[in-house]
């Protein structure tokens, strides 16, 4: 399935990018576990903390096209180094923040923007420009799986550390873990950029952005990805609160997040292989449609540990597996010269949805006492996302001829 990654230099580049994403996403996707400790320690309301994390969702997306543009223009090394340093600083200063504004600065801006600079757009763009075209889909799947593996590893460890050394010490440990990813940047940069035929060789990034925004297929892709962000941010931020409402121990939430990450490793790898066999728009439509059915199943089931673990496993398979087919469509439409920038813009739409998912979850629990209306909104948006991907203009997959 991943024969294109067999060359050592190709595999090294891919694994280095996956390792960096493992750290940045593992730390970022574990922040929901700090909501209750922050409420108890600072006395802040859940809506205030949810707003800070919602700002972080948007900031993570907003930095993607900027970081992608800088990486396209000057190279990804400085962008990645700066991102990891800023992210570590955001973790380190959060224990000193006792107000909503302070949390917006540390978690909402510094940690989120640093994580975004070391995330999908820069890493997938950097790898794509160093790998042969035949390896792009499989590499995107492996890189994406690295982020999922980070969630699988970090969530239970973070919950254990919170109980053992407190939430403050855990954030300082996360800062050190972020800095540990710095050596991987050298491994990612070791291979020179591969020669590619750019579809927009004679135009700059602004022209590429302008042209993309006039393409209806690109705008439909944004609309579907908005829903994905809403869904993921709501769950990452408020799943611990949902578990608490059901009277289950906090470990159920952390293990559910870990199962999501583990399941998405397989989902990401499978999505990467599907990109080479099917049109990516159909892959996305099936993923979003499956979420509608899965949420409906969850709402009908009793709230037990087994229900959460099965729900997590099902959701995890498509959790961030939407990234490889989305990046593949962007690459098909516009080439890879400005892939980091243009894919970064789709991630901005993803995180605009993430802002509403994180914030409205806090508003809903305060207003109604539970998350029922958020689940209904999740179902409706997932169904809509499945539909809007279908009209996307995407060329058929060209399969290599089989020798006879």
| pLDDT computed for residue 197 by the predictor | 46
Report if residue 177 sits inside a domain: yes
Confidence label for 201 from pLDDT (cuts 50, 70 and 90): very low
Report if residue 398 sits inside a domain: no
The secondary structure of 259-300 as a DSSP string is HHHHHHHHHHHHHHHHHTTS-HHHHHHHHHHHHHHHHHHHHH
Total domain count, the chain:
1
Question: Residue 274 is encoded by which pair of tokens?
Answer: 């599907």
Report if residue 399 sits inside a domain: no
| pLDDT computed for residue 354 by the predictor | 87
Report if residue 382 sits inside a domain: yes
Report if residue 116 sits inside a domain: yes
Q: Where are the alpha helices (DSSP H) in 180-215?
A: 182-189, 205-213
Residue with more model confidence, 87 or 203: 87
d(CA 166, CA 19): 27
Quick: pLDDT tens for 108-123.
999 999 998 988 778 8
| pLDDT computed for residue 137 by the predictor | 65
CA distances from residue 257 to 151, 157, 251 in whole angstroms, order as listed: 7, 11, 10
Write out the residue range of the structural domain in which residue 370 sits.
3-192+203-388
Report if residue 404 sits inside a domain: no
Quick: pLDDT tens for 220-275.
999 999 998 898 889 888 888 888 888 888 889 888 888 988 888 888 778 877 88
d(CA 242, CA 44): 19
Residue with more model confidence, 386 or 342: 386
Three-state SS sequence of 84-150: HHHHHHHHHHHHHCCCHHHHHHHHHHHHHHHHHHCCHHHHHHHHHCCCCHHHHHHHHHHHHHHHHHH
CA distances from residue 36 to 20, 31, 175, 265, 274 in whole angstroms, order as listed: 28, 11, 20, 28, 39
DSSP 1: -
Contact 186, 299 (CB under 8 A): no
Quick: pLDDT tens for 324-351.
888 888 888 887 677 777 887 888 888 8
Q: What is the pTM of this model?
A: 0.74
DSSP 31: G
Q: Report the first-to-last Cα separation within the chain, whole angstroms.
A: 20
The secondary structure of 298-317 as a DSSP string is HHHS---HHHHHHHHHHHHH
Contact 326, 280 (CB under 8 A): yes
Residue with more model confidence, 237 or 308: 308
Question: Of all residues in the chain, what percent carry a pLDDT higher than 70?
Answer: 91
CATH of the domain at 152: 1.20.1250.20
Question: Residue 229 is encoded by which pair of tokens?
Answer: 């962000």
Report if residue 400 sits inside a domain: no
**Mean pLDDT across the chain:** 84
Listed residue (237, 225, 227) closest to 371, CA to CA: 237
Report if residue 109 sits inside a domain: yes
Listed residue (31, 17, 24, 71) closest to 344, CA to CA: 71
């Amino acid at each position: 399935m991943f024969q294109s990654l067999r060359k050592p230099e190709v595999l090294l580049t891919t694994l280095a990018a996956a390792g960096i994403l493992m750290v940045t996403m593992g730390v970022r996707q574990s922040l929901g576990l700090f909501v209750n400790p922050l409420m108890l320690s600072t006395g802040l309301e859940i809506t205030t903390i949810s707003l800070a994390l919602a700002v972080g969702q948007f900031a993570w997306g907003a930095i993607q096209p900027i970081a992608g543009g800088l990486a396209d223009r000057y190279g990804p090394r400085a962008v990645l180094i700066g991102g990891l340093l800023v992210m570590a600083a955001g973790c380190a200063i959060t224990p000193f923040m006792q107000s909503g504004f302070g949390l917006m600065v540390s978690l909402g801006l510094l940690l989120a923007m640093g994580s975004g600079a070391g995330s999908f757009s820069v890493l997938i763009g950097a790898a794509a420009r160093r790998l042969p075209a035949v390896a792009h889909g499989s590499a995107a799947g492996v890189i994406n799986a690295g982020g999922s593996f980070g969630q699988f590893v970090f969530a239970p460890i973070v919950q254990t550390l919170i109980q053992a050394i407190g939430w403050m010490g855990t954030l300082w440990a996360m800062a050190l873990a972020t800095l540990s990813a710095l050596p991987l940047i050298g491994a990612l940069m070791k291979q020179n950029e591969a020669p590619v035929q750019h579809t927009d060789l004679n135009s700059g990034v602004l022209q590429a952005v302008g042209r993309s925004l006039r393409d209806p297929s690109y705008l439909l892709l944004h609309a579907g990805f908005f829903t994905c962000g809403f869904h993921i941010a709501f769950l990452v931020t408020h799943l611990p609160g949902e578990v608490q409402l059901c009277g289950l121990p906090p470990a159920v939430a952390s293990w559910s997040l870990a199962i999501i990450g583990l399941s998405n490793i397989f989902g990401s790898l499978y999505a990467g292989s599907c990109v080479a066999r099917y049109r990516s728009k159909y892959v996305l439509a099936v993923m979003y449609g499956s979420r509608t059915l899965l949420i409906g199943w969850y709402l009908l089931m009793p709230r037990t540990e087994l229900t959460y673990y099965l729900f997590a496993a099902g959701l995890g398979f498509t959790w961030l597996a939407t990234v490889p087919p989305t990046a593949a469509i962007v690459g098909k439409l516009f080439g890879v010269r400005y892939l980091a920038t243009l894919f970064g813009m789709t991630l901005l739409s993803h995180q605009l949805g993430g802002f509403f998912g994180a914030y409205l979850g806090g508003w809903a629990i305060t207003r109604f006492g539970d998350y029922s209306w958020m689940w209904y909104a999740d179902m409706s948006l997932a169904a809509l996302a499945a539909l809007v991907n279908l009209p996307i203009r995407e060329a058929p997959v060209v399969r290599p001829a089989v020798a006879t």
